Amino acid sequence: MTALIDITPADFRCVEDIMPVMDAAFDPAFGEAWNSGQCLGMLSITGSELLVARRENAIVGFALSRTVFEESELLLIATHPDAQRSGVGYSLAKAVIDQSAKKGAKMVFLEVREGNPALALYLRVGFLQVGRRENYYRGKSGDYFNALTLRYEIAS
């Protein structure tokens, strides 16, 4: 049986602890991983939140989001490759939605590169595609990728 996932809020002191997941989870070809300075910068901005997922006390994933008034944005979500496809990403995404709702958000937005398997997770959680930006991201190879905008509506 897979051990339970424990999701807890964290702050800037946890940034170095999530970096191994960041570095292992993101494909360097797309340049989507943030460095610790970028994470710390975001966490210094009002409304930013870090959620950390642990399994048997080991950090297996995290989500970074920000809520401003009625809108939240899921900025970053990652699961360590050794723990993928075992429900960590789903639990984190749901926890971001719950946390956003508690803060008074009515919607959660996110942007994802077209072709990123994360899209399947977002659709499973209940996000809907509401926009598409052509050639929005540029990968390490110089290739351009479209961005999809997704929205989750929080029931009132």
Ligand X SMILES: CC(C)(COP(=O)(O)OP(=O)(O)OC[C@H]1O[C@@H](n2cnc3c(N)ncnc32)[C@H](O)[C@@H]1OP(=O)(O)O)[C@@H](O)C(=O)NCCC(=O)NCCS
| Tokens at 143, concatenated | 């290739």
* Residue in 95, 108, 121, 148 binding ligand X, rule: CB under 6 A: 121
CA distances from 124 to 31, 90, 132, 134, 136 (A): 25, 8, 19, 24, 24
Gap between the Cα atoms of 123 and 131, Å rounded: 14
Which residue number, 87 or 126, has a Cβ lying nearer to ligand X? 87
User: x/- string (CB under 6 A) for ligand X, residues 14-33?
Assistant: -----------xx-------
- For residue 134, indicate whether it is catalytic: no
Catalytic choice (111, 137, 152, 153): 111
Which residue in 6, 9, 28, 85 binds ligand X (CB under 6 A)? 85
The C-alpha atoms of residue 40 and residue 70 are separated, in whole angstroms, by 24
Query: Is residue 84 involved in binding ligand X (CB under 6 A)?
Result: yes
152 has catalytic annotation: no
Question: Which residue of 3, 40, 58, 120 would you call a contact of ligand X, by CB under 6 A?
Answer: 120
Give the integer Cα–Cα distance in Å for 58 and 54.
Answer: 5
Q: Are strands 107-113 and 71-79 parallel, antiparallel or unpaired?
A: parallel
If one counts every other C-beta atom within 10 angstroms of the C-beta of residue 3, the result is 12
Binding site for ligand X (CB under 6 A): 25-26, 76-79, 84-90, 112, 116-118, 120-121, 124
Q: Mind telling me the catalytic residues?
A: 111, 122
